[in-house]
Copies of this chain bind each other. A is one copy, B any other.
């Protein structure tokens, strides 16, 4: 979330300070902790700015999600399914193991459990990420590495699933080895045709 070198003038810096504050408060106290006045205080910007530019907690969270989508790493294109899924597995495990991003994703999932709007925003984030990486699987099908009819989104989701499962149900940060294993498992299942048809 923190991007010290991000371009942009005062408006962009204000937005970044506000979104950083939203992320910090979400991690510290869940959705209930994201109070507009408190966001302004933590961000060091005027309350009027926060009320005028965002206005609601959901608008703040929606903007944070938009920023997360915009600043997420693009897919790789390494020429083989194994290499691309491994790159994805390493990216996701690195993100979830990050001392700032890991707790943020856990806090997002927690907030989504009790708030339908946040759940929809979070689903939007994952839809964007799955759509970003799905072409790696499409290319693998075209290269004949995977059966025709393989569901690209299902394969990419299969890489993420065990890494999120570890973080969320066990409160354990996934390692690079976990990322590699998640990628290998998804690739093996895809080759076996598990994600083709139905």
Contact = CB atoms under 8 A, between A and B. Distances in A.
A165 B157 contact: yes
Contact of A169 (B109, B170, B192): B109
B165 A160 contact: yes
Contacts of A116: 171
A25 to B, nearest CB: 12
Given A109-B110, A168-B109, A169-B123, A181 B162 contact: no
A51 interface: no
Given A109-B168, A164-B168, A194 B184 contact: yes
Contact of A162 (B103, B106, B113, B158): B158
Nearest to A164: B165
Contacts of A17: none
A184 B177 contact: no
A103 B113 CA distance: 8
A165 B161 contact: yes
Contacts of A170: 122-123, 126
Given A109-B110, A161-B164, A184-B192, 13 more contacts: A103-B113, A107-B113, A116-B171, A119-B171, A154-B181, A160-B165, A164-B165, A185-B185, A185-B186, A185-B195, A186-B189, A188-B192, A192-B192
